[in-house]
Structures are given as structure tokens and as C-alpha cells.
Amino acid sequence: MNPQQVKELVRKRYDACAAQQTAAGCCAASNTGGEGFAHSHGMYSAQDLDDMPTASVTLSRGCGNPVAFADILPGETVVDLGCGAGIDVILAARRVGGTGRVIGVDMTPHMIERARASVAEANVSAKVEFRLSDLERIDLPDAIADAVISNCVINLCPDKTAVFREAFRILRPGGRLAISDVVYTAPPPVEARQRLAAAWSGCLGGAEIEQRYFALVRETGFDGVEIVARHALAGDGLRGMACCPSPEIAGRPSADDLAAVEGKVTSIKFRALKPR
């Protein structure tokens, strides 16, 4: 697939998942009894999830909680790249206070619809706005954000350099990047990786080698890169990520391909700074 075909595949699959009346059948719910992958794997605290709209949790396809390490302050502007159904938008909105704002960016119309509904249910609509936009060309002005967050979305983008450049562009000097994502810690077997890439919407298809991933971050201009946490994906966690947004929509990778990459896939959480 060329990059445009990859983006259309990802857009259609995640939009179809969000268009469902419930998240049942999506990989996260299938693997965890309906709670959502992020909830069941302890990525959000009980306090984070208190009064959180159900759809924002069950439709979450994250691999971390970037709000937890983004150091968001009252009055700041936060941009969430690939906001999905809005769980991290809501958490950020609770932190920016009455004078701050949060902008959720996503390329899937039904996810934006779900996010708007979730934000309204959480009573934070006054602080939040959304953009239906490609992450490689974000419909936002330069230097608008104090912090840019993203949760297991950059791996889905075929041109990761363009995404990091856009994040750099929209950040103010001294602004912060806080990202959770999936990477390979070592090169996987070529044929297995090619087959996983054919179902790019699964978070293994477009995952980058960790060393190259951080080289892209630094080449964009970010410095002060700090890995906050990491956890290896294996067993149910690896299977769940590999079938996103749902096994019915994306299919299931073969057991052989998953075995070939097990021990080589990790979720990383990191921060970086735009120089002043």
C-alpha cells in the first residue's frame, strides 16, 4: 500500500468501529470483558476514570496515559493528536481549568462525534474544541499549544516525520511533547512484519524500530527526550493491540506472526521539549 492507501485503510476501520452503537466486538472489549484495553491494563487510575463517559473508555485504543506525565497546568492549551473518543481530551480538560483549552484532532468523523458526545457528558465542552484533520497536515496555527499529547496513534501514521514536524510546529517554544506509542525494540522477521503491515490498523503494522523512532523525534528538532515508562506487550495485550480496532473489522493476525514478534514489541511513554 502507498501512504494514502494506508491512511484510508486506518480511517475507514476506526471510523467503522466508532460508528457501532457499542464497543462490543472491538478488540479492547473482546479481550477484557467490555472495560476497554486501557482500563483493564491499569493505564488509568480509578480517579481518572471517575465519572468518565462509558464510550470514551470502551472505545479507547491507547497504550498509556499521556496526560499523567504531560505536566499540564491550569490555563494551558493542550492538543491531543488522534483523540479518538475523547478519554485523554477529558482528562486534559479537567487539568487546564476554566482558563485553559484542549483541542482534539482526529481524522475519523465518527470518532469526533463520539468524542463530542463524551465531552458534553463530562461537562467540559466549554474548554474543548475538535478538528477533523490529517495528523500530517494539522488544521491549526503555529505555536498554539503548550503541550501536545498522543496515545498509540503515531504508529498508525505512514509518515511519522510529518507528524512530529506538525507537533513541533504547533508547539510554542518551550512546549512539551508527551507520547504513548508502540515500537519494535528489535527488528522483527521481515515476512511477519510485512503480513502485519497489510492490516496496518493493528498497532503492529506501522510500528517503527525504537532506535529509528527516537531518531525521528530528535531530527525534527525536539530535545530533552526522556522515557518515562515502558512495558513489553505479550500474550493478550499483544493480541489485543494487533487486531485493532476490532477483529471483526481488521481480522486477527496469525499465531505464527504474533509468536515471531513477541518479545520485540513494547509500549513506550516519553516526553520531549521544543527548545525556547
Of the pLDDT bands very low, low, confident and very high (cuts 50, 70, 90), residue 124 is very high
Q: Provide the 10 A C-beta neighbour count for residue 61.
A: 29
Residue 192 lies in a domain: no
Q: Which domain holds residue 103?
A: 3-184+208-232+268-273
Rounded CA separation 56/118 (Å): 6
Q: Domain count for the chain, please give it.
A: 1
Residue 135 has pLDDT above 60, yes or no: yes
Q: What percent of the chain has pLDDT over 70?
A: 92
101 CB neighbour count, 10 Å cutoff: 20
Query: Closest Cα partner for 148 from 169, 172, 178?
Result: 178
pLDDT at 247 exceeding the cut of 90? no
The answer to whether position 256 is within a domain reads: no
Length in residues, the chain:
276
The pTM score is 0.92
Q: Residue 248: inside a domain, yes or no? A: no
> What is the CATH classification number for the domain harbouring 19?
3.40.50.150
Q: What share of the chain is helix, strand, coil (3-state, %, to 5)?
A: 45, 20, 35
Report if residue 195 sits inside a domain: no
Q: Per residue in 137-187, pLDDT tens? A: 999 999 999 999 999 999 999 999 999 999 999 999 999 999 999 999 999
pLDDT, one tens digit per residue, over 218-245 is 999 999 999 999 999 999 889 988 988 8
**In contact, 53 and 88? CB cutoff 8 Å:** no
What's the confidence (pLDDT) of residue 61?
Answer: 87
Tens digits of residue pLDDT in 189-219: 999 999 999 888 889 999 999 999 999 999 9
> Which amino acid appears at position 233 of this protein?
L
Instruction: Note the pLDDT of residue 38.
Output: 52
Copy the grid coordinates of residue 53: 463517559
User: What secondary structure letter does DSSP report for 122?
Assistant: T
Whether residue 242 lies inside any domain: the answer is: no
In a domain, 78, yes or no: yes
What pLDDT does residue 36 have? 46
Domain membership flag for residue 121: yes
The answer to whether residue 260 is domain-embedded is no
